[in-house]
Amino acid sequence: MREIVLDTETTGFDAEGADRIVEIGALELVNHLPTGRSFHVYINPERAMPKEAFEVHGLGDDFLRDKPTFAQVARDFLDFIGPDSRLVIHNATFDMRFLNAELTRAGHPALPMARAVDTLEIARRRFPGAPATLDALCRRFGVDNSGRELHGALLDSQLLAEVYLELVGGRQPDLVLVGPAGGPSDAPGLRMQSRGPRTRPLPSRLTQAEAEAHAAFVEKLGDGAVWRRFGDA
């Protein structure tokens, strides 16, 4: 099962009006495990960046001026998410409205809302009445969000991936998200790291007395004992 954990940053809240997407960050999960593939792009919104948006994202007009427009990156974005992968998004209605508004302007079909998995809704169902922001969920699950001083689409999608795995059943303890150099992940290029194979097998915890008692028990059961049929006695 392929899923794309996705986040966008925008100039405001009016998707069908003057506001536009300025950043997209996404990463790929297959069977709830990160593959290391990610997509990240800054986008020229073709409008002035409002002061309040700059304060949230730290992205100004000078920085965004030479970035591609959404129409120029739309095909790459669609190729990355694929035709049917589920889109894991926190507050999915917001991001899907902006993505579909941008896709429509660029001449592409809109994404079906049915593709979206809304982690905000999942969190509210699991923890009714509790705060369900991404920061609150990071605190609940012990996900390190200390680098989240400003909203950034790629960092937020990385944090959301960890939160999502907790929401759907918990991270495997021997799997962590790490960066290309092997340290904690803070950049594109996530890969899986697992503990290596044991250099020595663990010693048996069965005592000699327990082994002898088991052998005597099997002997009493006769030739039909399941342990005899499978070669364990």
- pLDDT tens-digit readout, 182-196: 444 444 444 444 445
Query: Which pLDDT belongs to residue 151?
Result: 60
Task: State the alpha helices, DSSP H only, in 58-185.
Answer: 61-64, 70-81, 92-105, 119-126, 134-141, 153-167
- Residue 56 is classified by DSSP as H
Q: What is the pLDDT of residue 152?
A: 80
**Per-residue model confidence (pLDDT) at position 193:** 45
CATH topology of domain 2-193: Nucleotidyltransferase; domain 5 (3.30.420)
208: tokens are 């000699």
- Ordered per-residue pLDDT tens for the chain, 233 residues: 999 999 999 999 999 999 999 999 999 999 999 999 999 999 999 998 888 777 666 778 889 999 999 999 999 999 999 999 999 999 999 999 999 999 999 999 999 999 999 999 999 999 999 999 999 999 999 988 876 654 688 889 999 999 999 998 865 544 444 444 444 444 444 444 444 555 566 566 667 777 777 777 667 767 765 555 555 54
Q: Which two tokens stand for residue 42?
A: 């800054």
Q: How many CB atoms lie within 10 A of CB 100?
A: 18
Q: Is the pTM of this model over 0.85?
A: no
pLDDT number for residue 149: 53
Looking at residue 3, its pLDDT comes to 97
pLDDT of residue 191: 43
Catalytic site positions: 151
Q: What is the CA radius of gyration of the chain?
A: 25
pLDDT for residue 164: 96
Domain ranges of the chain: 2-193, 197-233
Measured CA distances, 40 to 26, 153, 155 (Å) = 6, 8, 10
* pLDDT score of 102: 97
